[in-house]
């Protein structure tokens, strides 16, 4: 939607959607927490407004408020929402229902949870037609088939009869898009329409929305946390911070010279703009044996081949990245390296020791040397443990139960040191995971990995659940720790920008195989393989990269 292109339908005067002085609050206990404060914007026909902001900035709340579908404890505190000059906030429920889906429709966030799991996807699209048109069953079915063709399905009758679990994430999102455009709305609210999708699928879905918008002159409010997507796909960008619209500017202008400090900070945090010295060129002279040496590694789950003959070498002190889309086998590879799952065949040498044939028990002494940081620290922490117990866990598991009492003080000191290394104060010792923010939790996870003084740390999507500014902080922390301690990182990621920022070597995986590997600058600069080129092409935020 790189769009200075004017809408082809001929510009109608006046905005399609205008939001004036909107404030929204949530009832929390006895008080009210204001989530959106005095937000105003206008949207002309065919325009795309990207609302960007970090979690809790109120961007989704605005989307819900426009549709007047706030959660039960949400309330409009002030301001108006107008559609084609007519105030729609506060209309009776019946009239609002006529507008929803027909005048203003929604492309929801999570394609998996946004479809009813036990209804055929065709009849879920049919809902819109049933609610808003007088067509009979026959005509509606034909119309749904047309819509499915429009969103790029081929065997439309078979698709009509399928259930959500039979479709991939990208296909589910297409179904939801078909439903959103079924009644030819003038405004589409796209609430994080591609989060959780692979990069190439994300690009396809965004292209589709873009294409439909061009054809019909529909205006789009694109709610996203991804500044890259916003920069590539919008005419206007609105930056939200703590419920306030701190900047509203044409996209090109915003990318070139943001006026607000916070906007500038956000833009500078984007991984595409992060710069760590001497990365990517395959530096890191090796000393001693290779940290990780994998030869012809295979892993089968039943008949399914997850990892299909993978070989690579990681030198000590470098960051080796494994990139790929979901199902490419990259996480399975990480799990084998850390001894969490056994390999089916192949050889794994860690720090010169062959671990391929080791039993779980024989692997134990190595566990202190190889640690892992998971994507979602919330799920990998015991919710009843405090930070001290969480971080001390790797220490205690190596200590005999009898000496546990004697070692308590020493453990505590080591935990405090590890927390400090992860830039957390010792006052965090007795907090519980749920009291921490996402970034703090990820720091605790890093402290837990560091506490046993490992030499290799496997980072499984370490920043993909984090807001962009927090992401930048964690990446800087990881970079610093590696330089100070000579750590070896194996980074598993789907985000090429993150990989480019902190890796030295990279391997691209697809269908369980490595299709290309080498120094980051070479692989990303002159990809030898078509698939790598596709991945690079699907990267969002090309508008943002400054190098």
Partner 1 sequence: MTPYILRRLVQAVLVLWAAYTLTFALLTALPGDAISNRINNPQNQLTPEDGRTLKAFYGLDRPIVVQYAHALDALLHGNLGYSLSSGSTVSSLLGDALPHTLVLTALGLTFGVLVAAALGIAGSYAPWSRLRALLQSFPALAASVPSFVVGILILDGFSFRLRLIPAVDDGTFLALVGPALTLGIMIAAPLAQVFTAAITATRRQPFVHVLQARGAGEHYVFRHGVLRNASLPVITMLGLAVGELIAGSVVTEAVFARNGIGQITLNAVNTQDLPVVQGVVLISTTGYVLVNLLADVIHPLIDPRIRADILARRAKRPSRARPGADEAVPARLPDEAVAS
352 vs 537, beta carbon nearer partner 1: 537
Q: Indicate whether 303 belongs to the interface with partner 1 (CB under 8 A).
A: yes
Region near partner 1 per CB under 8 A, out of 108-116, 230-238, 446-454, 518-526: 108-116
Q: Indicate whether 201 belongs to the interface with partner 1 (CB under 8 A).
A: yes
Task: Kindly identify the residues of this chain, within the stretch 136-195, that bind partner 1 according to CB under 8 A.
Answer: 152-155, 158, 161-163, 165-168, 170-171, 174, 176, 179
List 114, 331, 371, 471, residue binding partner 1 (CB under 8 A)? 114
* Contact string (CB under 8 A) for partner 1, positions 77-106, x = contact: ----------------xx--xxxxxx--xx
Region near partner 1 per CB under 8 A, out of 37-45, 321-329, 333-341, 525-533: 321-329
For the stretch 217-254, what's the b/e string if a residue is b when 16 or more beta carbons lie within 10 angstroms of its beta carbon? bbbbbbbbbbbbbbbbbbbbbbbbbebbbbbbbebeeb
Task: State the nearest-atom distance from the C-beta of 98 to partner 1, in Å.
Answer: 7
In angstroms, the Cα distances linking 163 to 107, 142, 300 are: 19, 19, 28
Task: Kindly identify the residues of this chain, within the stretch 349-368, that bind partner 1 according to CB under 8 A.
Answer: none
Q: Indicate whether 302 belongs to the interface with partner 1 (CB under 8 A).
A: yes
List 42, 110, 453, 522, residue binding partner 1 (CB under 8 A)? 110
203 vs 292, beta carbon nearer partner 1: 203
Q: Indicate whether 67 belongs to the interface with partner 1 (CB under 8 A).
A: yes
- For residue 36, the cross-strand partners are 24
Q: Distance (Å, rounded) from C-alpha 108 to C-alpha 104?
A: 13
CA angle (102 as vertex; 100, 107 as ends), nearest 5: 70
Region near partner 1 per CB under 8 A, out of 126-134, 368-376, 457-465, 518-526: 126-134
Q: Please provide the DSSP assignment of 350-391 as one string.
A: ETTEE-TT--HHHHHHHHTTEEEE-S-HHHHS-TTS-HHHHH
Q: Distance (Å, rounded) from C-alpha 225 to C-alpha 60?
A: 10
Q: Are 220 and 190 in contact (CB under 8 A)?
A: yes
Q: Indicate whether 127 belongs to the interface with partner 1 (CB under 8 A).
A: yes
CB atoms within 10 A of CB 98: 12
Q: Indicate whether 485 belongs to the interface with partner 1 (CB under 8 A).
A: no
For residue 51, give both structure tokens: 């609302």
Task: State the nearest-atom distance from the C-beta of 154 to partner 1, in Å.
Answer: 7
Region near partner 1 per CB under 8 A, out of 74-82, 249-257, 279-287, 322-330: 322-330
Region near partner 1 per CB under 8 A, out of 196-204, 226-234, 241-249, 400-408: 196-204
Total residues at interface with partner 1 (CB under 8 A)? 55
Which of these, 542, 545, 499, lies nearest to 524 by C-alpha position? 499
Residue 453 CB-density burial (10 A; 0-12 exposed, 13-18 middle, 19+ buried): middle
190 vs 475, beta carbon nearer partner 1: 190
Q: Indicate whether 3 belongs to the interface with partner 1 (CB under 8 A).
A: no
73 vs 286, beta carbon nearer partner 1: 73
Match 């697809």 to its residue by tokens. 510
For residue 539, give both structure tokens: 């990267």
CB atoms within 10 A of CB 448: 26
158 vs 259, beta carbon nearer partner 1: 158
200 vs 423, beta carbon nearer partner 1: 200
Which of these, 481, 542, 450, lies nearest to 232 by C-alpha position? 542
List 13, 118, 136, 409, residue binding partner 1 (CB under 8 A)? 118
Give the three-state DSSP class for 61: helix
For residue 124, give both structure tokens: 């879920």
Q: Distance (Å, rounded) from C-alpha 83 to C-alpha 106?
A: 15
316 vs 328, beta carbon nearer partner 1: 328
Task: State the nearest-atom distance from the C-beta of 331 to partner 1, in Å.
Answer: 12
In angstroms, the Cα distances linking 195 to 110, 174, 202, 206, 378 are: 8, 14, 8, 11, 19
**Which positions lie near partner 1, rule CB under 8 A?**
67, 69, 93-94, 97-102, 105-106, 108-110, 113-119, 127-128, 131-132, 152-155, 158, 161-163, 165-168, 170-171, 174, 176, 179, 200-201, 204, 301-304, 325-328, 511
């Amino acid at each position: 939607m790189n769009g200075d292109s004017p809408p082809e339908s001929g510009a109608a005067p006046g905005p399609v959607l205008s939001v004036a002085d909107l404030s929204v609050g949530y009832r929390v206990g006895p008080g009210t927490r204001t989530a959106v404060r005095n937000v105003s914007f206008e949207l002309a026909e065919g325009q795309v407004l990207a609302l960007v902001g970090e979690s809790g900035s109120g961007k989704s709340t605005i989307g819900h408020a426009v549709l007047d579908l706030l959660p039960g404890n949400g309330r409009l505190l002030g301001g108006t929402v107008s559609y084609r000059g007519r105030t729609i906030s506060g209309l009776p429920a019946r009239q609002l229902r006529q507008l929803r889906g027909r005048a203003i429709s929604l492309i929801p966030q999570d394609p998996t949870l946004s479809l009813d799991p036990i209804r055929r996807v065709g009849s879920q699209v049919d809902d819109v037609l049933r609610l808003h048109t007088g067509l009979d069953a026959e005509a509606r079915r034909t119309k749904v088939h047309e819509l499915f063709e429009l969103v790029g399905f081929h065997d439309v009758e078979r698709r009509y009869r399928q259930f959500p679990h039979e479709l991939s994430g990208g296909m589910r999102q297409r179904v939801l898009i078909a439903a959103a455009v079924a009644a030819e709305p003038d405004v589409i609210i796209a609430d994080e329409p591609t989060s959780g999708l692979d990069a190439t699928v994300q690009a396809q879905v965004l292209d589709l929305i873009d294409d439909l918008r061009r054809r019909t002159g529909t205006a789009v409010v694109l709610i996203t946390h991804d500044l890259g997507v916003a920069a590539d796909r919008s005419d206007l960008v609105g930056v939200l911070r703590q419920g306030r619209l701190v900047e509203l500017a044409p996209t090109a202008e915003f990318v070139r010279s943001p006026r607000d400090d916070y906007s500038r900070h956000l833009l500078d945090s984007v991984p595409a703009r992060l710069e760590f010295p001497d990365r990517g060129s395959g530096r890191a002279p090796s000393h001693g044996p290779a940290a990780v040496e994998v030869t012809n590694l295979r892993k089968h789950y039943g008949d399914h081949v997850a990892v299909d003959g993978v070989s690579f070498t990681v030198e000590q002190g470098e960051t080796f990245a494994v990139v790929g889309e979901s199902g490419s086998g990259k996480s399975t590879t990480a799990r084998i390296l850390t001894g969490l799952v056994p390999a089916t065949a192949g050889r794994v040498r860690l720090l010169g020791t062959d671990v391929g044939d080791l039993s779980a028990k024989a692997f134990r002494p190595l566990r202190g040397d190889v640690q892992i940081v998971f994507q979602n620290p919330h799920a990998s922490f015991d919710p009843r443990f405090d930070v001290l117990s969480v971080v001390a866990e790797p220490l205690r598991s190596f200590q005999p139960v009898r000496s546990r009492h004697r070692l308590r003080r020493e453990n505590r000191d080591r935990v405090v040191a590890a927390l400090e290394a992860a830039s957390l104060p010792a006052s965090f010792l007795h907090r519980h995971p749920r009291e921490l923010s996402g970034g703090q939790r990820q720091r605790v996870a890093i402290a837990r990995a560091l506490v046993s003084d490992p030499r290799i740390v496997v980072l499984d999507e370490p920043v993909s659940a984090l807001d962009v500014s927090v992401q930048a902080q964690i990446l800087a922390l990881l970079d610093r720790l590696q330089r100070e301690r000579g750590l070896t990182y194996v980074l598993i990621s789907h985000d090429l920008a993150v990989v480019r920022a902190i890796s030295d070597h990279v391997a691209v995986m697809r269908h369980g195989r490595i299709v290309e590997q080498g120094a980051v600058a070479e692989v990303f600069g002159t990809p030898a393989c078509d698939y790598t080129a596709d991945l690079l092409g699907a990267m969002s935020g090309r508008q943002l990269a400054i190098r």
